Chains A and B, each alone.
Chain A
């Protein structure tokens, strides 16, 4: 049996691993967007710890058998952060890392938004905001019919919840009592045209989801121990309330000149800034 000290060490090891993988995702985002000439930095960086926590600690999957029926499923409502997920899917073994080098080339499997027909490990295609959470409602119903104990995770953007369909889905998940559905809100406070609160105010967020019958948890989306603790404490899949984890995040997190700005939501770094960005990302985790 592990001593308390060993348990603490193991936890610390896990946190460090997740942090390193998050930074790996950020570095790859910088590299891949340079290949494309344009991409979503801000939004991918705000999700990096969320992606890493899900794929290196939370989710059940088999990268050698991507269609394993009992797997947890992950749908990106905010598909535009896909460039941050691809490196992680490659790293955990869904496809060879070299394939990422084709990013945005003609005929490549890898574009700005994730494609289930082309990429092993992508459970559903997305790109048009507001659909993903509805798709997850269907997946959660399907899993429940099959008597599975898996979870369906959906990543939502805070801008995305301006879409009316999200609230149709929220209502139905509460109504159908889908305890196996977990929404994750990347609350990075930024959309293309500016700051979410200035464009179309979505606040209060917690109260809205609670009123639709959801279990609501709030967490700092860059605090790895807090993320791990939050996901470890999720209600059982057979419980009757869907859960939303509202992650307080920073757009462009990890690169100082990108943080808290909307101009870097979709952009392209100049060559000298690429070096600057990578230095900052590499410095973060020793």
Chain B
């Protein structure tokens, strides 16, 4: 009997066919001939992370470490020490949390060209439960010196920044990407995502929504709802959380006087924390609110129910912005 494949399916292999955001494997496969230094490592999640797409073309440069993530991260550091550019992918909960110390000590401190890809971030694993939720990884990785933290809005943005990282970026990067079921924001082939440079996707003078990752699309939806109510919201895709695009934040503070950050992460230490730090030190007066997971562990539930519950969908974000502006 064939696997039932529908838009609401969470079946592992079937739902991969619906994935749009997990473009690392195919991007690296495309770059692999020109860049023999690219290698890819996974820990029994080569298919769910789609890194296996690289392994299909370059089996000799693809290493599956089995269910042993710490060993994989340290080995990636060893590979980088021999001049390779290792891309390491597994679920964010096992990468950013389980391997925190290996990342800090073996990758970030020596400032090696290791690219870490944490997939299925935030509450994307929904009913898998707290062990599989990753709402702390931005805070953890952001606190490591040398480490860049990037949360692309979609698969097109992810591919563009992977390409840039291979072509011209030196040092470790943590890419935070969701499970791949999200709607796209960017048009294929149009360059628009540069590491460290935020994208203003919608102009507005009343308030700015700064979002990262899958919350960028949800924030654009929210801005649409708000426009119908006469509120013009600027929407910034802050894909690079570290180093943060200070100018984009400060301009938004000056020009709109109110900022809401949106992320599928604990409001402590994530995108909201990063923006708050900049604002407080700037001396610019600006209303400010962090929106995300409010320092709690998320409920079990199907992802689309959870995003709704935590007001991380378009309607939810619009209601949060409305409440904030009316305070």
Contacts and interface: CB of A to CB of B under 8 A. Distances in A.
Asked if chains A and B come from one complex, the reply is: yes
Contact of B102 (A73, A117, A131): A131
Contact of B75 (A116, A123, A138): A138
B68 A116 contact: no
A138 B68 contact: no
Given A137-B78, A138-B79, A172-B65, A145 B39 contact: yes
Contact of A134 (B60, B63, B74): B74
B76 interface: yes
A165 B70 contact: yes
Q: Which of A137, A138, A140, A165 has the most CB of B within 10 A?
A: A138
B105 A124 contact: no
A246 to B, nearest CB: 21
A143 interface: yes
Interface string B51-87: 0000000001101011010111111111111111010
Contact of B105 (A128, A136, A142): A128
Contacts of A73: 81
A282 interface: no
B111 interface: yes
A145 B58 CA distance: 12
Given A117-B111, A134-B78, A136-B78, A142 B84 contact: yes
Q: Which of under 10, 10 to 19, 20 to 34, or 35 or more describes the interface residues of B?
A: 20 to 34
Contacts of A172: 65-66, 68, 71, 75
Interface string B95-114: 00000011001100111000
Interface residues of A, number: 32
Interface string A130-168: 110011111111110110000000000000000011001
Interface string A63-78: 0000001000101000
Contact of A131 (B68, B74, B81): B74
A127 interface: yes
B109 A125 contact: yes
B61 A131 contact: no
Nearest to B65: A172
Given A123-B81, A139-B81, A168-B70, A117 B75 contact: no
Contacts of A116: 81, 110
Instruction: Give the most central of A69, A123, A141: most B CB within 10 Å.
Output: A141
Interface string B221-244: 000000000000000000000000
B71 A134 contact: yes
A134 B77 CA distance: 9
15 contacts: A117-B109, A125-B105, A125-B106, A131-B105, A134-B70, A134-B71, A134-B72, A134-B75, A135-B77, A137-B75, A142-B79, A142-B83, A146-B82, A165-B70, A165-B74
Interface of B: 39, 60-61, 63, 65-66, 68, 70-84, 86, 101-102, 105-106, 109-111
Interface of A: 69, 73, 75, 116-117, 123-125, 127-128, 130-131, 134-143, 145-146, 164-165, 168-169, 171-172, 175-176
Given A131-B74, A172-B65, 10 more contacts: A123-B81, A124-B77, A128-B101, A131-B105, A134-B102, A139-B81, A146-B82, A169-B71, A171-B71, A175-B66
